[in-house]
């Protein structure tokens, strides 16, 4: 187990370097950050040169990357062009997005697994058919549509939630945005759980459990669910990473000052240190989430043993 | 496994229960499956009974309805597509088919238990064997986790799994095939049920382990005085442990007989064919007999006697009239108790 974790952590290193370099390359290679800094005005050549030198922009790209990474590992993610350190932006943005993600994941996990199990156990009946149909509808509606519609209905029409979230973004205000964020994943979770339950419900060990005279709820929760949740856990694990980085649309709609908002601002203003810094953290979140999923596998399924 | 001709008469292990009602009685059971291709009649009027301490072997090819009958008794038939349009399954005189789900659940595992063929898939891969064994005690007897674990160890010792105490936390995939089947047996035995249904308990095992597992099963059955329904297609297994045999073909019982009677003098051409097709040491070098053709398609069972297209003795009447299960008698008319044959020509088959 320990060796497996070590190996996985070591494998993360090239993945981390590769992905961050790609991000770095794409952000820095496209457009001139110094020109962007000056906006519409043409910069004074001497000043521009000095800024270039200060920011190591006159050096080759790989050396810029090495320099940047060196600073990242000493905790310095650079400063945004407005003078604020990127770490400060992160300290403000990540807790907000984390709260949003928690709301979304709990929502999709609780509702998705429940709906999936219920429809899986009633395969082909009314509930199952309507769940399948509804999830299909949900999957095919893009977030910016569902987000704005729900914002209008709940926030404006019925006044049940705040249409726009305050900068502190407490949990209570993040409920609606969390639901919007988790909506598509909810549909996937439901379908995945349903398929898995349908498949496992015909398994021999479920028949054995029935033959043992176990009550139905015990058969479902102890025997069926445990086996059926293995693929669902994989999906949820990778989804956490996706939700944290992919909240750009949702955060824009509800004016949440989280990771997505900062990334959007960074891209809009060509604010390279912000973009690269945030994405670097997101890469790490992804990698760690995947590692945790793989480790959770071994807990859920004893046939998987890591040597 | 090849010694079929046993001379020792079947010492009856049968014990009459007080009022004479059998432990389990299946009456005129029909099971059908509604499939896309049509109606498959898997079981067409099966009758059999088992008493305490008695072993009934149900013999037949794949698709003969032997497992489906067992599943109907256990109440683990997939319904739908399965359906029981007719028949009774009496446990101690009470029809289980009319019981509520909760009443049936309480019989399952506690009174009637089942051993499945493939223990690897029949055991839950993600739960330890100790948990799965202990579950019986926790659910049916309300024991605590700790007590249940102690009971599980006891059971594993009972079926002679070495180092039971250390292995109680292991998972099914960590055991060998024979050991896994022992765990299945232990699970069925847990609550000392009245009746055990063993659905091809040794088919997935290799020959040496087969013998061990069968011996264990027979021994435990004697000890607890349980009824046993042994479903198999292996005639060699049957000879040693069974008291009586029911041979099934296309969802019907075609012959019933006390075990050694059948081996000596089969009264149905199908049973005869099965016996002929066992390899024998005294016929070394000769070609092995095989019943021609394939088991019938249950969607279109042949008219008349279902076996007639494959029967070497078939005549016109066989394809028009379904033979009933005739009471078989000696040539002089003396009754042979427990013997029956669903063949128009049982006399010729038996005495000819």
Contacts of A223 in chain B (CB under 8 A): 124, 127
- Identify which of A207, A218, A226 has the shortest CB distance to residue B139: A218
Contacts of B99 in chain A (CB under 8 A): none
CA–CA distances in Å: residue B79 to residues A51, B34, B90, B102, B276? 77, 10, 20, 17, 38
Percent of chain B surpassing pLDDT 70: 94
CB contact under 8 A, A207 and B105: no
- Which of residues B224, B242, B260 is at a domain's end? B242
Identify whether B13 is part of a domain: no
- CA A28 – CA B262 distance, rounded (Å): 89
- What pLDDT tens digit does each residue of chain B (352 aa) get? 444 444 333 333 344 445 567 888 888 899 988 888 888 888 888 888 898 888 999 988 888 888 889 989 988 888 778 888 888 888 888 888 888 888 888 888 889 999 988 888 899 999 999 999 999 999 888 889 899 999 899 889 888 888 888 898 899 999 988 889 889 988 988 888 989 998 888 877 788 888 888 888 888 888 888 899 999 887 877 887 888 999 998 888 888 988 888 888 888 888 888 888 888 788 777 888 888 888 888 888 888 888 888 888 878 888 888 888 888 888 777 777 888 888 888 877 777 7
Judge if B205 and B261 occupy the same domain.
Answer: no
Neighbours of A96 (CB within 10 A): 24
Judge if B179 and B213 occupy the same domain.
Answer: yes
CA–CA distances in Å: residue B82 to residues A300, B30, B34, B35? 33, 10, 7, 9
ipTM over 0.90: no
Q: Which DSSP string corresponds to B13-47?
A: -----TT---SEEEEEEEEEEEETTEEEEEEEEEE
Could you tell me how many CB contacts below 8 A there are between chain A and chain B? 74
A301 Cα to chain B: minimum distance (Å): 5
Would you state the structure tokens that stand for residue A259, as one six-digit string? 């990771």
Is residue B27 a contact partner of residue B47, using CB atoms and an 8 Å limit? yes
- Decide if A217 touches B, using CB distance below 8 A: no
Identify whether A29 is part of a domain: no
Identify whether B316 is part of a domain: yes
Contacts of B116 in chain A (CB under 8 A): 204, 207-208, 211
CA–CA distances in Å: residue A87 to residues A71, A82, A190, A246, B8? 12, 13, 37, 20, 90
Identify whether B8 is part of a domain: no
CB contact under 8 A, B122 and A208: yes
Per 3-state DSSP, chain A is made up of helix, strand and coil in percentages (nearest 5) of 75, 0, 20
Task: Please report which helix (H) or strand (E) contains residue B139, including its range.
Answer: helix B129-141
CB contact under 8 A, B124 and A209: yes
Would you state the structure tokens that stand for residue B106, as one six-digit string? 């309480």
Q: Is B293 exposed, middle or buried (0-12, 13-18, 19+ CB in 10 A)?
A: exposed
What's the number of domains chain B is made of?
2
CB contact under 8 A, A227 and B126: yes
Identify whether B55 is part of a domain: yes
Would you state the structure tokens that stand for residue A87, as one six-digit string? 């770490």
Judge if B237 and B261 occupy the same domain.
Answer: no
Would you state the structure tokens that stand for residue A242, as one six-digit string? 């996706």
Residue of chain A minimizing CA distance to B105: A213
Judge if B181 and B305 occupy the same domain.
Answer: no
Q: How far is CA B220 from the centre of its chain?
A: 17
- Identify which of A204, A212, A227 has the shortest CB distance to residue B108: A212
Identify whether A10 is part of a domain: no
- Chain B residues 122-151 with a CB less than 8 Å from chain A: 122-128, 135-136, 139-140
Q: Is B78 exposed, middle or buried (0-12, 13-18, 19+ CB in 10 A)?
A: exposed
For position B12, what pLDDT does the model report?
Answer: 38
User: What is the CATH number for A225?
Assistant: 1.10.3720.10
Q: Is this structure's pTM higher than 0.80?
A: no
- Decide if A209 touches B, using CB distance below 8 A: yes
Identify whether B207 is part of a domain: yes
- Which of residues B207, B242, B277 is at a domain's end? B242
- Decide if A215 touches B, using CB distance below 8 A: yes
- Decide if B300 touches A, using CB distance below 8 A: no
Identify whether A257 is part of a domain: yes
The answer for A255, left when phi > 0, alpha when psi is -120 to 50, beta otherwise, is: left
CB contact under 8 A, A207 and B116: yes
User: What is the CATH number for B182?
Assistant: 3.40.50.300
Judge if B63 and B203 occupy the same domain.
Answer: yes
**The CA-based dihedral angle spanning residues B245, B247, B251, B253, taken in that order and rounded to the nearest 10 degrees:** -70
- Decide if A205 touches B, using CB distance below 8 A: yes
Is residue B29 a contact partner of residue B246, using CB atoms and an 8 Å limit? no
CA–CA distances in Å: residue B123 to residues A230, B117, B127? 17, 11, 8
Asked, as a colleague might, if the bond just before B264 is cis with ω within 30 of 0, I would say no
User: DSSP character for B301?
Assistant: P
Q: What does the pLDDT look like over A29-57, one tens digit per residue?
A: 666 667 766 766 777 778 778 877 777 77
Identify whether A76 is part of a domain: no
Q: Where in the sequence is the domain holding B342, given as residue range(s)? A: 252-351
Compute the C-alpha angle B78/A211/B129, nearest 5°: 125
- Identify which of B110, B122, B171 has the shortest CB distance to residue A213: B110
Q: Where in the sequence is the domain holding A281, given as residue range(s)? A: 86-300
- Which of residues B242, B263, B282 is at a domain's end? B242
- CA A77 – CA A278 distance, rounded (Å): 9
């Amino acid at each position: 187990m320990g060796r497996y974790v070590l190996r996985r952590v070591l494998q993360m290193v090239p993945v981390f370097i590769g992905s961050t370099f790609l991000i770095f390359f794409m952000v820095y290679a496209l457009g001139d950050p110094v020109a962007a800094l000056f906006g519409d005005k043409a910069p004074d050549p001497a000043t521009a040169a000095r800024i270039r030198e200060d920011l190591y922009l006159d050096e080759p790209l790989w050396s810029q990357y090495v320099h940047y990474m060196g600073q990242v590992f000493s905790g310095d993610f650079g400063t945004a062009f407005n003078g604020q350190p990127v770490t400060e932006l992160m300290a403000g943005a990540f807790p907000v997005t984390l709260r949003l993600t928690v709301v979304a994941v709990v929502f999709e996990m609780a509702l998705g697994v429940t709906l999936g199990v219920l429809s899986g156990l009633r395969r082909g009946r009314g509930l199952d058919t309507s769940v399948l149909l509804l999830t299909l509808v949900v999957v095919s509606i893009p977030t910016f549509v569902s987000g704005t519609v729900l914002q209008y209905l709940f926030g404006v029409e019925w006044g049940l939630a705040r249409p726009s979230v305050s900068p502190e973004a407490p949990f209570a205000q993040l409920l609606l945005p969390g639901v919007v964020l988790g909506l598509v994943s909810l549909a996937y979770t439901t379908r995945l759980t349903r398929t898995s339950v349908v498949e496992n419900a015909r398994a021999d060990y479920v028949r054995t459990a029935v033959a043992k005279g176990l009550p139905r709820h015990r058969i479902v929760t102890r025997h069926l669910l445990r086996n059926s949740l293995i693929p669902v856990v994989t999906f949820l694990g990778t989804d956490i990473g996706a939700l944290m980085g992919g909240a750009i649309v949702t955060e824009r709609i509800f004016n949440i000052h989280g990771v997505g908002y900062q990334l959007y601002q960074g891209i809009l203003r060509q604010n390279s240190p912000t973009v690269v810094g945030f994405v670097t953290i997101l890469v790490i979140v992804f990698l760690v989430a995947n590692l945790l999923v793989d480790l959770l596998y071994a807990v859920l399924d004893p046939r998987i043993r890591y040597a | 496994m090849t010694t079929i001709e046993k001379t020792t008469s079947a010492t009856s292990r049968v014990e009459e229960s007080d009022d004479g009602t059998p432990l389990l009685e299946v009456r005129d059971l029909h099971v059908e499956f509604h499939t896309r291709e049509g109606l498959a009649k898997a079981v067409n009027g099966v009758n059999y009974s088992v008493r305490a301490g008695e072993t009934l072997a149900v013999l037949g090819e794949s698709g003969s309805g032997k497992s489906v009958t067992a599943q109907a008794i256990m109440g683990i038939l997939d319904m739908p597509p399965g359906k029981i349009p007719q028949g009774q399954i009496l446990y101690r005189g009470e029809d289980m088919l009319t019981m509520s789900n909760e009443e049936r659940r309480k019989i399952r595992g506690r009174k009637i238990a089942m051993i499945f063929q493939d223990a690897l898939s029949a055991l839950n891969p993600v739960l330890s064997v100790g948990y799965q064994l202990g579950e019986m005690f926790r659910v049916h007897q309300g024991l605590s986790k700790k007590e249940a674990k102690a009971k599980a160890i006891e059971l594993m010792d009972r079926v002679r799994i070495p180092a039971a105490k250390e292995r109680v936390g292991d998972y099914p995939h960590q055991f060998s095939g024979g050991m896994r089947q022992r765990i299945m047996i232990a699970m069925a035995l847990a609550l000392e049920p009245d009746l055990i249904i063993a659905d091809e308990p040794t088919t997935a095992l290799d020959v040496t382990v087969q013998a061990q597992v069968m011996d264990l099963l027979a021994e435990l059955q004697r000890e607890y005085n349980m009824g046993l329904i042994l479903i198999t297609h292996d005639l060699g297994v049957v000879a040693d442990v069974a008291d009586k045999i029911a041979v099934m073909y296309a969802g019907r019982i075609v012959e019933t007989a006390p075990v050694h009677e059948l081996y000596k003098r089969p009264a149905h051409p199908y049973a005869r064919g099965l016996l002929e097709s066992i390899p024998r040491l005294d016929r070394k070098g000769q070609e092995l007999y095989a019943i021609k053709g394939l088991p019938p398609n249950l969607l279109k069972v042949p008219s008349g006697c279902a076996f007639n297209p494959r029967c070497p003795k078939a005549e016109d009447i066989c394809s028009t009239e379904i033979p009933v299960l005739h009471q078989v008698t000696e040539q002089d008319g003396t009754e042979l108790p427990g013997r029956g044959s669903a063949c128009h020509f049982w006399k010729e088959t038996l005495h000819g």
